[in-house]
Every structure is written in C-alpha cells, then in structure tokens.
Amino acid sequence: MRNLRIFPVLFCLFFMHTISYAQEKNSAIQESLAIKKLVDAKRATTSSTLNTDKYNIQIFYGKNQQAKEALNRFKRMYPDMEATVIYSNPSYKVLAGNFKTRLEAERYLKSIKKDFDSALLLRPGK
C-alpha cells in the first residue's frame, strides 16, 4: 500500500525534472544583409519625416486612399511645405510641416484651415 502512494510522487518528480530542462537549446537566426539594409533605410526615413520635438499640423485622418488624395491635394496647394502620410492604428494621418514654435505653426494652421476644415495642431511628441 505504501508503494502505491510513493509511485505517483516519483512519477511526477521524474516528469517535472524533464520539463524543467526541455527548452535549453539556443537557436541562431541569420538575417539577410539586404533585409538589414531595408530596415535601416526605413528607420532613417521614419526618423527624418517625424520630428518629435517640433509641431505638426494634421491635415486628414481616415482611410488610406482618402489620405493619399488629401496629401496630393495638399501638395498641390502648398508645394513649399513638407507633408507625409503616417499609419496610426486603425487609420492614416496626413501630417504637414515641422515647426519649431507654436506661434509659427498656428500661423500656418490658420491659412490651412481655409482649405482643410479638419486641420489641427499637434504638439511635439504626440
């Protein structure tokens, strides 16, 4: 009878020991040099278009195709101002300008609001 009680305990201890050593193998992942270059290029363009210490004007917020149309319309109307489309889950944003001061951004916002009613000012880091 005593052997019957010890058997389940020994059985559990044996399997606990094997489970604790089950995932010790290390895997080495080799990534392609081309993929690394693409990731670096993407990081460089993202960091250059989104300057987090400057004010931006959000021109549009919505679906991808509509965002592209809004971007093209904005670029035709304001060719001297930088603008880009950013994906912000679940929609797309069209952001324009990199303004150092809030005053400068508000001046541009006033003129842009005449053509884009939904335009709004975004603070740095938002």
Instruction: Give residue-wise pLDDT tens across range 32-42.
Output: 888 888 888 77
Q: How many CB atoms lie within 10 A of CB 2?
A: 6
Q: Which CATH number fits domain 53-122: 3.30.70.1070, 2.10.210.10, 3.90.1150.10, 3.40.640.10?
A: 3.30.70.1070
- Give CA–CA dist 113/104, Å, rounded: 14
pTM > 0.85: no
Per-residue pLDDT band at 8 (split at 50, 70, 90): confident
